[in-house]
A and B are shown apart, each in its own frame.
Chain A
Amino acid sequence: AQSVTQLDSHVSVSEGTPVLLRCNYSSSYSPSLFWYVQHPNKGLQLLLKYTSAATLVKGINGFEAEFKKSETSFHLTKPSAHMSDAAEYFCVVRTLADRGSTLGRLYFGRGTQLTVWP
C-alpha cells in the first residue's frame, strides 16, 4: 500500500530563516516522490521530483529535498524563506504500477500550510 504523511499541518517561519517541511512515505515499490506548491487561488505547481537518480533533488525557487530510503523520508528545505513562499505544500508519492496497470497514480499528503512572517 502507498501512503504519504506530512508531519505538520502548519509551519510558521520568519522571513530569512530556514524552512523545513517534513514528509514520510510508505510504498510497496520503488517510489517516485514529488513536492507540489499551491499559492492562494492558484493551481498546483511542481516544485521538484525524485525519480531514482540523485537522492538530493533541487527544485525551483531555491527549494530542495533529500530522499532517505532508510528513513522513508522526503523532507523539503529552503535555506532562507521569502514572503512569496507562503503557500500550501503537498508531498506526493507515485508508484510504477497500480492494480496491474502501468498508470502510476499519485497519492497526496494532506498538505502543509507555510506562513512566512516579515
Chain B
Amino acid sequence: DVKVTQSSRYLVKRTGEKVFLECVQDMDHENMFWYRQDPGLGLRLIYFSYDVKMKEKGDIPEGYSVSREKKERFSLILESASTNQTSMYLCASSFPGGGPKNEQYFGPGTRLTVT
C-alpha cells in the first residue's frame, strides 16, 4: 500500500515563527504536492515538485517555500507564520504524467493553527 505520512497531525505556532511541515512517501514517486484546505474553498495547490531539487509554484505560493533534497521527502516552509496561514495542509504524491494509473495519494493532513 502507498503510504504518505506527515510529521504532525496538529500544530500550534505563534505569529512570526518559522514553521516546517514534513511529508514522506514510500512509493518512489517522482511528483509531490502541497495543498491547503479551507472550508468552502476545497484544496488549493501551494507548490509541487517533479524531481529532487525541482519545484514549481502552484496557485497560492505567497508566504510559503518548499524543499526537496531527497526523492521521498518534501517539506513546506512558512518563513514567518501569519494567522491567515491557519489551515489544514495536505501532502500528496504520484508518478509523473496524466496516465490512468497515476493518481495522487494523500497524507492524513496537518492542522496548523497560528496564534
Q: Which residues of A are in contact with B by a Cβ distance under 8 Å?
A: 9, 32, 34, 42-44, 46, 49, 51-53, 90, 94-97, 99, 101-106, 108-111
Q: A9-B40, A44-B90, A108-B43 are in contact. Are A102 and B108 (CB under 8 A)?
A: no
Not counting A95-B98, A106-B104, a sample of 19 additional A-B residue pairs whose C-beta atoms are within 8 angstroms of each other reads A9-B40, A32-B98, A32-B100, A34-B103, A43-B90, A43-B109, A49-B103, A51-B99, A96-B97, A96-B98, A97-B98, A101-B56, A102-B97, A103-B48, A103-B97, A105-B58, A108-B35, A110-B40, A111-B42
CA gap between A43 and B33 in the complex, in Å: 15
Do A101 and B103 touch (CB < 8 A)? no
Q: A32-B98, A90-B43 are in contact. Are A43 and B104 (CB under 8 A)?
A: no
Do A108 and B108 touch (CB < 8 A)? no
